[in-house]
Amino acid sequence: MANGSTSMHAFGEQPDRPSADGTSRGTQYTGRYVVVLDPNSQQRGLDALVSAAGIAPVRRVRGVAAAEASGLLENPDVSVVFEDLAVAVVEVRPEQRLALVTSAEAEDAILAAEPERWVRASQIIAPDRAPAKFFPAYRGDEDVLARQSRAEAAADQGPALDEQTTTWGLQAIRANASGLTGRGVRIAVLDTGVDTDHPDLAGRIEETASFVADETVEDGHGHGTHCIGTAAGPAQPQQGPRYGVATEARVLAGKVLNNEGDGTDGQILAGMEWAIAKGAKVISMSLGGRVELGELFPQTYEILAERALQLGTVIVAAAGNHSLRPGFVSPVDVPANCPSILAVGSLDKAMRIAFSSCGGLNGQGGEVNIAAPGVRVHSAAPGGGYATMSGTSMATPHVAGVLALLSEANPEASAADLVAALKAGAFPLPQPARDVGVGLLQAP
């Protein structure tokens, strides 16, 4: 097992099935374990867990059938295996947890085992401090920017942005200048669900599934509908400016966070299995859990993200909103801190990093890969209306939408090719790569 020492450390700290109260600054665990298996030896790995650790009886789920897994994940008498991803969410008695970790370290059919976390929507709920001015030029003013401090020059160049026809975010990434629409590309948004009756989105949603027990896919929070609107809202919404990047992409709406904005690793894994089986080219996850300075990325998510890339799916995740700039920068959240997941930082209208956006302090995958508009973003809201939200959550679906545009333009491109093209097309910014990665997201 690649991460034995990390698992042993976490083993000693996790409580038994705590509630996610939304107030803790640290990681919370569910009491279960996530176990990544060798795809060619799944049964041998499970047999080892049964014999050594006495895990609960196993139920197998594959592909689109993962949409039926919400009840299984809530059942303490069942362990669930998602066969296409070769990952299990296992129930184990507290006194057997050490045996599970020990057996996982000894059995080469088990690649990683970690306690299952609670994760949350990555939205800022405190008042933000966005400036009023707008950065008006991105590709055509290199000479000017070369002679001046780019950020200062940009902040002095133009008046506040006119958002009568297009949001400032779409203008900043040049989505409104692109002739691409994402037609034929599926974007999966794993979040709090969606308003399936929203007049802007109803005709765009190809499939829905709820991985939250006792909750339908309908969005009782608002976060998911907003993110879906940014990724794939229409070219001509019922009201207000255009806010969607990939205006003809097909949406797979997976509810992995409940109406309070909370979810578990198991729900996310079920959503990933379902989305990949449905042919998603991109999985957008505006969610995460806080990590500490020096903390390594989770082996479980990294291995699964690598498998997703091999299957043709790029995973994008929010970098997190735990910083308080200037003065305090928090490391990139899990799972965005995995090397094979694109971590997205948040920018305001003046192309300054948002005060709360997490930074690449931990390395080894904990970097911010790219930055996108995430402050005062206008998009769809439940009830058929609209809302303005801020956070790396709002930046992330901008990236998912641009990946859909790139996929439309290069239908034979691999997932790795799409990631390379995304990074190559970014506009350099003067801020440290720690905060903005390769720079400002740009549409092709």
Of 3-7, 52-56, 239-243, the least confident: 3-7
393 an active-site residue?
yes
Is 60 a residue whose pLDDT tops 90? yes
Instruction: Kindly state the percentage of the chain with pLDDT values over 90.
Output: 74
Q: What is the pLDDT of residue 421?
A: 97
Query: What is d(CA 315, CA 400) in angstroms, rounded to the nearest whole number?
Result: 8
Averaged over 24-46, what is the pLDDT? 86
**pLDDT at position 432 over 80:** yes
Residue 130 phi/psi, 5-degree rounding, is -70, 140
Q: Answer yes or no: 221 catalytic.
A: no
The sign one gets for the Cα dihedral 351, 352, 357, 361 is positive
Rg of the chain (C-alpha set): 21
Nearest to 270 by CA among 428, 132, 64, 5: 64
CB within 8 Å of 7: residues ≥ 6 apart: 1, 101, 104, 112, 113, 114, 115
Beta bridge partners of 315: 283
Q: What is the pLDDT of residues 264-288, one digit of tens each?
A: 999 999 999 999 999 999 999 999 9
Q: What is the pTM of this model?
A: 0.87
Identify which has the larger pLDDT, 129 or 191: 191
Q: Are 360 and 334 in contact (CB under 8 A)?
A: no
CA 136 – CA 395 distance, rounded (Å) = 18
Contact 218, 312 (CB under 8 A): no
Amino acid, res. 181: T
Which of 2-16, 109-123, 398-412 is modeled with the greatest confidence? 398-412
* pLDDT at position 396 over 70: yes
CA distance 436 to 430: 9
- Mapped onto helix, strand or coil, the DSSP state of residue 197 is coil
Residues 120, 109: Cα–Cα separation, whole Å: 31
**What value does the mean pLDDT take over residues 72-96?**
91
Q: For 295-312, how does the pLDDT look when each residue is reduced to its tens digit (9 = 90+)?
A: 999 999 999 999 999 999
Q: Which residues contact 317 (CB under 8 A, 6 or more apart)?
A: 285, 286, 287, 288, 333, 335, 336, 341, 342, 343, 344, 396
Catalytic-residue membership of 407: no
Percent of the chain with pLDDT over 70: 85
For CA atoms 248, 254, 259, 262, the dihedral sign is: negative
Q: Which of 378, 393, 398, 435 is catalytic?
A: 393
Encode pLDDT of 138-160 as tens digits. Answer: 444 444 344 344 444 444 443 35
Please tell me the predicted confidence (pLDDT) of residue 125. 61
> Bridge partners of 359?
331
CA angle 303, 305, 307 (to 5 degrees): 70
Q: Is 68 left (phi over 0), alpha (psi -120 to 50) or beta?
A: alpha
Count of other CB atoms within 10 angstroms of residue 319: 39
Cα torsion for 216, 222, 228, 233, to the nearest 10°?
120
> Among residues 223, 226, 322, 398, which one is catalytic?
223
Candidates 191, 211, 210, 257; CA nearest to 73 is 211
Report the SS3 class of residue 393: helix
Mean pLDDT of the chain: 87
Block residue for tokens 């490391």: 331
Residue 141 · residue 72 · CB < 8 Å: no
- The residues that bridge with 59 in the sheet, in sequence order, are 80
| DSSP secondary structure, 154-185, as one string | HHHHB-SPP-SSB-HHHHHTTGGG-S---TT-
Most confident residue range from 61-75, 84-98, 99-113, 342-356: 342-356
Q: Which amino acid is at 290?
A: R
What are the pLDDT digits (tens) for 215-226?
A: 999 999 999 999
- Alpha carbons 228 and 193: distance in angstroms, whole number: 9
Phi, psi (rounded to 5 degrees) for 208: -135, 155
Q: Amino acid letter at 415?
A: A
